[in-house]
Structure 1
Amino acid sequence: MSRRVRLGAVGAGWWATSNHFPIFAAREDVDLAGVCGIGSELEAVREQFGFGMATNDYDELLDQDLDAVVISTPHDLHHPQAVAAIDRGLHVLVEKPVTLTAEQGWDLADRVRAAGVHFLAPYGWNYKPFTIEAKRLVAEGHLGEIQHVLCHMASPTLGLFAGDTNHIRSLWDSKTSGPDPRTWQSPARGGGYAHGQVTHSSAMLFWLSELRAASVMAKVSNGQAAVDLFDAAVITFDGGALGSLSGAATLPDGDPYQVDLRIFGTEGVLMLDTERERVSLHRYDGRRWDLDIPPGEGAYECIVPPNRFVDLITGASTENNSDADVAARSVELIDAMLRSAAAGGAEVAVRHGVGARQHHHHEESA
């Protein structure tokens, strides 16, 4: 693509304005064609980043001459907004969780495949050099067949899910108001730790392992909040591997995020730990890889994914570490976890309500 990528944005809140828009605005190959949002700050956002137009009407945004759309709206709006863009043949970057249900997640994956567009969910850890190297080692077959996984995540996010959401603004350079508690603290809109944070750890697990969950037994605890702050699950994957998953929202402010993945296979074991910044793959035949990771590299950032989205569109890159398939596997797991928890921890099938059509497509692409 020789001309600049004409980008439209829907959602102009704290995360879009502190992370995505500065990245896109700094690129010579991106034209910020229009922004759609609500609230009194929209015109200031348009001026700050140089968008060609601003509107409260998503259809009006889509009527601009666009190549791509970045969607940073409340979780429950992602699916219809992404569908409208994909159906027009536009490339889409969709914030995570990309949807709240398995059906919607695989529907997006199907539509992306049929339309031949690029779809990226901005999972920052999937683009870190040390996770990319871990993926390379796994792809070379050093684990053998995966038999067991551990997937743990904890974050300093109590305020986001159960307190003053504005406190998180101090962590990001956003000139707009902070996260909306009506999104992050509402069960109906996908608030809570599973959709808000386990989305990260599970998406990294599915990208690294290429596993897919088959059934789940889960419980959640809300503390004094309206949404889940703690999550615990036992997972059975296609092929029979077992997994344990945990999530906790209550690290003290300033503590590093914990993402701890351990994958046990027939030929070796992978350990990936963002907090202590270590990756190792040790094989039973004695071969060992222990990566040298620079201090600070494990901290979360989301700089590569928006840049990669543009590079995929222009052809400068072909590597997508968080495509619609990875995103849908994460969504369907979390959907099943929350259904199991609502049923008192009973085992539920992940593919509840997901037709053979989506599953068939998925197997073709795996």
Structure 2
Amino acid sequence: MSKVRLGAIGAGWWATSNHFPIFAAHPDVELVGVCGLGPELTEIRDKFGFGFATEDADELLDAGLDAVVITTPHDLHHPIAAKALDRGLHVLCEKPMTLNADEAWDLAQRAEKAGTVFLVPYGWNYKPFTVAAKKMLDEGGIGEIQYAVCHMASPTRGLFGNDPTHMLERWNSATAPNPTTWSSPARGGGYAHGQVTHSSALLFWLTGLRAASVAGRVMTAGAPVDLFDAGVIRFDNGALGTLSGAATLADGDKYQIDIRLFGTDGVMMIDVERERVTLSRYDGTRTELEITPDEGEYECLIPPARFIELITGASSENNSDVEVAARSVELVDALLRSSSQDGAEVAVHA
């Protein structure tokens, strides 16, 4: 096909430091227009080569696009993505896809009806070692999953506490993260929506599990939003699991994602921090993947490129589609509801 006519809604720190450079350099992309707020918008238009800039999302969506990338504050994802899907556009929507389960599954239904690509850019879902781990699981490496551990920790206490200095240094963006996005409960701020979205989406993509119920607690430790999260999960297949998250690693520490899966035929461990994937089967077979040093470090280079490849037909592998994202959203939504009810077990879905 001809170049993908792409528009962007949202022009903040993550869009300008990650997505826009990738799309601007992609030979199969035409950057039609960018929608955002603030005096920097014209400069951003010129820097990345967008055809026009506007503060009106509808104007952009009606500009003859094939696809749109959405990097607005979390609470605006659903209405914009819904409009895009209803126009038959391909959508790359930042994480968390939405803030509640109903909106997440609404987008899933709209995407199915539209028949277009919907990708949520979870970087760890595209790492060679996680792709290899999923292949082993899909081949029955541990049998049926009976118990799952999913833990994440990040050096993000400043981001959720109104001081994004470390994140700016990490991502080298001239556009500061907006504190109203990351440290406002009403806008989806907090560690659960901001980071547990990563680990849970990785878990659901790897395993195909879906949470049925959760009993959860969160703690703010004096911050405006949650810094610590914990939950006990029942999955649809009857398996038990735990989910945990902590925002307070020291600046510069490596991100932690630790997923441990216990099945009827064996055990798999996936450790992002120490870059390990091991499979230990009860028949005595043991496998440990060789992983390139620093492959566990977070980056999001493949998902935007894969989005274009899915549109053009160059790839059919979507490791973070709308259903994976919806399963993550519904679990985080239920965890927060449970915490507001003193940790009572609540249903994740009907």
TM-score tier by shorter-chain length is over 0.9
Alignment root-mean-square deviation, CA: 0.7
Match of 2:292 in 1: 294
Match of 1:227 in 2: 225
The partner residue of 2:320 within 311, 317, 322 is: 322
The letter of the residue matching 2:48 is F
* Number of positions where the alignment pairs a residue of Structure 1 with one of Structure 2: 350
Distance in 1 of aligned mates of 2:174 and 2:73: 19
The partner residue of 2:309 within 289, 308, 311 is: 311
The partner residue of 1:345 within 337, 340, 343 is: 343
Match of 1:358 in 2: none
Match of 1:359 in 2: none
Retained in 1: the 8 A contact 2:166–2:251?
A: no
Retained in 2: the 8 A contact 1:166–1:179?
A: no
The letter of the residue matching 1:229 is L
Shift of 1:33: 0.3
Write the mapping of 1:157-172 to structure 2, written as runs, cut at 5 A.
157-172=156-171
Secondary structure, counterpart of 1:329 in structure 2: helix
Match of 2:215 in 1: 217
Shift of 1:279: 0.3
TM-score (normalizing by structure 1):
0.95
Distance in 1 of aligned mates of 2:19 and 2:165: 19
Match of 2:63 in 1: 64
Deviating beyond 2 angstroms after TM superposition, the runs of 4 or more aligned structure 1 residues are none
Shift of 1:166: 3.9
Gaps of 5+ in 1: 355-366
Match of 1:18 in 2: 17
Gaps of 5+ in 2: none
Secondary structure, counterpart of 1:313 in structure 2: helix
Distance in 2 of aligned mates of 1:277 and 1:15: 25
Deviations 1:64-120 (A, max 9, x none): 110000000000000000000000000000000000000011111111111100000
Distance in 1 of aligned mates of 2:207 and 2:242: 14
Deviations 1:340-366 (A, max 9, x none): 000000000011xx5xxxxxxxxxxxx
Write the mapping of 1:242-253 to structure 2, written as runs, cut at 5 A.
242-253=240-251
Retained in 2: the 8 A contact 1:33–1:51?
A: yes
Distance in 2 of aligned mates of 1:9 and 1:168: 22
Secondary structure, counterpart of 2:177 in structure 1: coil
Retained in 1: the 8 A contact 2:142–2:264?
A: yes
The letter of the residue matching 2:104 is G
Shift of 1:163: 3.1
Write the mapping of 1:1-366 to structure 2, written as runs, cut at 5 A.
1=1, 3-176=2-175, 178-351=176-349
TM-score (normalizing by structure 2):
0.99
The letter of the residue matching 1:13 is G
Shift of 1:201: 0.2
Deviations 1:196-232 (A, max 9, x none): 0000000000000100000000000000111000001
Distance in 2 of aligned mates of 1:207 and 1:47: 37
The letter of the residue matching 1:312 is L
Shift of 1:167: 3.5
- Identity across aligned pairs (percent)? 68
